[in-house]
Each structure stands twice: as structure tokens, then as C-alpha cells.
Amino acid sequence: MKISAKAEYACLAVLALARPRTEDTPVRIRDIAEAHSIPERYLVQILLQLKGAGLVLSTRGALGGYRLARPADQISLGEVLWAIDGPGEPPREATEPAARALASVWRHIRDAERKVLEQTSIANLAERTLAPEWVI
């Protein structure tokens, strides 16, 4: 599985939007860009793509920024990746027996990848980024 830099940046941006905050205000592009070393102009393009896919909402103005369009537990990692890079390449047609045998393995791998991406929610990933609370 190949993940483009653009798709990885999109995932980082969505995770930044999913993190719990004390205020319910939109997250500024500059804050996301600085936190993850993403060029701001590039991040704007990514967020516009995510907005077009219905994954994020934007608010204009001095207090503007971006927020998730749905709760983080209702957005899958796959949705974010496919919004940026598309659904992936269609499988090649195989005619000879050896090529068909390999094609069935590649299809099985793609199906497994898709299943993991569909079952991994942004909320689950955001939880993994939080520092553990140590209790002694």
C-alpha cells in the first residue's frame, strides 16, 4: 500500500481536528501546519479537498478555522485517504494461470487493507495520540 505525502498530511490534519479541546472553536490552519510541519499553502489545498468530500467544515473570520463535519468516531481512516488519493488502482486483468493466482493474492491483500482502513476510526487514532495518564 502506497500512501502519498498529501494523504498522510490529510490524516494528520484530521487527527488534529479530532483532538479534544477546552474550547469548541475551529482549529486554525496555522496551528495544524506548525504542529505537523506542513506548508500552510499545501494544507489549505488538502483541507479544501476534505471539505469537498464532506469530512470537514470551515468557518471564516478572525476566529475561523476548520472542524470535523461529523463526530470522529463516524469518520474512518479510509474515508480520509480515499478523499485525497481516490479509491486506488483497479486490478489488472490476468489471463494466464500464474498471473491469475497472483492477482487473487493481491486482491485478497487489497480487501484486507480496505477492511482495516474502514474499521479504523479517527476517534480511535486520536485516542492513541493522547499521552497516557500515569496513576501511582
Does residue 84 lie within any of the structural domains? yes
pLDDT band at 135 (very low <50, low <70, confident <90, very high): low
What local confidence, expressed as pLDDT, does residue 131 receive?
A: 65
Query: What does the pLDDT average to over 70-94?
Result: 88
Does residue 109 lie within any of the structural domains? no
What local confidence, expressed as pLDDT, does residue 133 receive?
A: 65
Cell numbers 479537498: residue: 49
CA distance 25 to 36: 20
Query: What does the pLDDT average to over 63-83?
Result: 94
Query: What does the pLDDT average to over 120-129?
Result: 91
Query: What does the pLDDT average to over 52-58?
Result: 96
* Helix ranges (DSSP H) in the chain: 5-18, 29-36, 40-52, 77-85, 97-119, 122-129
Rounded alpha-carbon distances, angstroms, from residue 107 to 8, 88, 90, 95, 100: 23, 12, 10, 15, 10
CA distance 133 to 116: 27
Chain segment 11-34, per-residue pLDDT in tens: 999 999 998 777 778 999 999 999
Indicate if the pLDDT at residue 111 is higher than 70.
yes
- The domain that holds 51 is classified in CATH as 1.10.10.10
What local confidence, expressed as pLDDT, does residue 55 receive?
A: 97
Average per-residue pLDDT for the chain: 90
Reported pTM: 0.85
What local confidence, expressed as pLDDT, does residue 38 receive?
A: 95
- Amino acid symbol at 69: A
**Domain with 38 in it:** 5-88+121-129
How many beta carbons lie within 10 A of that of residue 121, not counting itself?
18
**How many domains does the chain divide into?**
1
Does residue 81 lie within any of the structural domains? yes
What local confidence, expressed as pLDDT, does residue 27 receive?
A: 94
Residue among 66, 64, 23, 20 at smallest CA distance from 43: 66
Does residue 34 lie within any of the structural domains? yes
